Amino acid sequence: MSDITTQLIERIKSQKALVGIIGLGYVGLPLAMEFSRFGFMVLGFDINQKLVERFNSADCYIHRVDRKLFAQLVRENRLSATADMSRLAEPDVIIICVPTPLNKNREPDMTFIVNTSETLVKYLRSGQLIALESTTYPGTTRDVVKPILEKSGFSLGKELFLAYSPERVDPGNNDFQLFQIPKVVGGLTKNCTRIAEIFYRSVFQTIFKVSSLETAEMSKLLENIYRAVNIALVNEMKMLVDRMGLDIWEIISAAATKPFGYKPFYPGPGLGGHCIPIDPFYLTWKARQFEFPTRFIELAGEINTSMPDYVVNKTMEAMNRRRVCLNGSRILVLGVAYKPDIDDMRESPALRIMEILERDGAKVDYNDPYIPKVSEQRQTKLRKESVPLSEQALKQYDAVIIVTNHSSYDYQWIVKNSQLVVDTRGVTKGIDEGSEKIVRA
């Protein structure tokens, strides 16, 4: 074992290693906090100067993390941030947590990973571990990141160490703390894997080593595609049993009593978040290079992306029965976060539902206790502010659509004071059963 490898491992084991996190968003900030609270000094990097200033002033901009702990770590100077990329020479370990979106043709957009790697290579020094955590297609670390890092002149596996370890953040899930979620690790070489394992083991309870970078990359895609396909299945079942006059929620509850061979998935108005709606298309794109059709994945994508249209159609049908035209109506959408009790609206189906409603002539408002403003972003041109809820306000809307089932909503109160409620999450079951003012979509 070389002196470079030995020194890096010793610094990691003694927690003298400085950890750098590139990208301080929904993945990077919680990860930075985790390494910091387990004893490492952490330096975060982000190109957004305003975000860096908020970080360093202990103004936590992500709802789901422990704000008191965040402030304490910043106050103790164990956690800090910078927009000065020349400081990338300082950390012993650098974790890349940048976005990996799709372009308008649903192809992987590697811009953030490429730009980050090209910036990083300017400041690399011998004895650093680089770990990519951004979700991406198999081959990204080897074929995209590695050639850029090799421009440094350092030998990868001997002087620089490269690994991939997929992030597994689950916003709103309080059953697992980040360090309790098993960490998959794959390196460019056995030496890279060994160092990455030692590093992540210093925080995470369970490490699962795999044989290659590509295996680690594919494991994350499989996790998310599994969810996407099963959600599509239950969404299709929902639309079918609706025509049959059956209740999908009761059916799922009945099936879930089987103690083996079945795992319940639940329908909804569509997929949201940065992972489930996007990651499957990384693999469909990669599969085309091998002339392999990914029919399950593409069909699941079609079903899930069609769900906002289904919700709007169900709303329109319910309004027609009340002799109310969608064009010119007032609609309130409850919840624009992509899942309950979080402040993340990336790829949220609520945004698409609001766009369709407005396209068809409705005046649309929304309420979300976690998201005060909707601003223009990749998947929407909407600009709105959350409106307050009151008995008088609810009565003014021709329909109220429950899109996100936040736990803070009083659904019985909402149903009581609304003219029509379209429930996409099954939260009104048991409330005013048989009432024509409740429609499940």
Q: What angle do CA 269, 267, 105 make, to 5 degrees?
A: 55
The three-state secondary structure class of 213 is: helix
Mean pLDDT of 294-301: 94
**Residue 34: both structure tokens together:** 């985790």
Report d(CA 158, CA 129) in Å as an integer.
11
Up-side HSE of residue 66: CA atoms within 13 Å toward CB? 15
pTM of the shown model: 0.92
258 and 394 together in one domain: yes
236 and 340 together in one domain: yes
81 and 130 together in one domain: yes
Mean pLDDT of 7-36: 96
Contact 45, 22 (CB under 8 A): yes
Question: Does 222 fall in a domain?
Answer: no
DSSP type of residue 260: S
Question: Which position has the token pair 């890096």?
Answer: 8
Q: Does 54 have pLDDT greater than 70?
A: yes
The three-state secondary structure class of 322 is: coil
Q: Does 434 have pLDDT greater than 80?
A: no
CA 353, 354, 356, 357: dihedral to nearest 10 degrees?
110
363 φ/ψ angles, rounded to the nearest 5 degrees:
-95, 120
What pLDDT was estimated at residue 378?
62
What is the chain's mean pLDDT, rounded? 95
Percentage of residues in the chain with pLDDT exceeding 70? 99
Question: Does 99 fall in a domain?
Answer: yes
Tens of pLDDT, residues 305-340: 999 999 999 999 999 999 999 999 999 999 999 999
99 and 141 together in one domain: yes
Percentage of residues in the chain with pLDDT exceeding 90? 88
Domain boundary among 211, 245, 270: 211
The three-state secondary structure class of 128 is: strand
By mean pLDDT, which of 164-178, 199-213, 229-243, 385-399 is the weakest? 164-178
Report d(CA 332, CA 421) in Å as an integer.
10
Q: Does 14 have pLDDT greater than 80?
A: yes
Whole-angstrom CA distances from 6 to 126, 130, 188, 201, 240 are 13, 16, 18, 17, 61
Q: Does 97 have pLDDT greater than 90?
A: yes
What pLDDT was estimated at residue 170?
82
Residue 65 — pLDDT band, cuts 50, 70, 90?
confident
Residue 1 — pLDDT band, cuts 50, 70, 90?
low
Question: Does 149 fall in a domain?
Answer: yes
Residue 248 — pLDDT band, cuts 50, 70, 90?
very high
Alpha helices in 94-207 (DSSP H): 111-120, 140, 146-149, 190-201
The three-state secondary structure class of 95 is: strand
User: 10 Å Cβ neighbour count for 278?
Assistant: 23
Q: Does 432 have pLDDT greater than 80?
A: no
408 φ/ψ angles, rounded to the nearest 5 degrees:
-80, -10
Question: Does 133 fall in a domain?
Answer: yes
By mean pLDDT, which of 134-148, 194-208, 224-238, 277-291 is the weakest? 277-291
Print the domain residue range for 94.
Answer: 3-211
Tens of pLDDT, residues 344-395: 999 999 999 999 999 999 999 999 999 999 987 666 788 999 999 999 999 9
Question: Does 221 fall in a domain?
Answer: no
The residues that are catalytic are 275
Domain boundary among 178, 211, 244: 211
Report d(CA 27, CA 133) in Å as an integer.
9
Cross-strand partners of 80: 43
192 and 244 together in one domain: no
Question: Does 68 fall in a domain?
Answer: yes
53 and 119 together in one domain: yes
- Total domains in the fold of the chain: 2
Looking at this protein, which amino acid is placed at residue 294? Answer: T
175 and 279 together in one domain: no
Q: Does 183 have pLDDT greater than 90?
A: yes
436 and 302 together in one domain: yes
Q: What angle do CA 80, 82, 84 make, to 5 degrees?
A: 150
Angular region, 107: left φ>0, alpha ψ -120 to 50, beta rest: beta
Q: Does 200 have pLDDT greater than 90?
A: yes
Report d(CA 368, CA 317) in Å as an integer.
25
187 and 298 together in one domain: no
Domain boundary among 211, 239, 261: 211
322 and 189 together in one domain: no
DSSP for 374-436, please give it: E--BTTB---EEPPPP-HHHHHT-SEEEE-S--TT--HHHHHHH-S-EEESSSTTTTSSTT-T
Question: Does 54 fall in a domain?
Answer: yes
Question: Does 436 fall in a domain?
Answer: yes
Residue 269 — pLDDT band, cuts 50, 70, 90?
very high
Numbers of helices and strands, H then E, in the chain: 15, 15
CATH of the domain at 280: 3.40.50.720
146 and 20 together in one domain: yes
401 and 272 together in one domain: yes
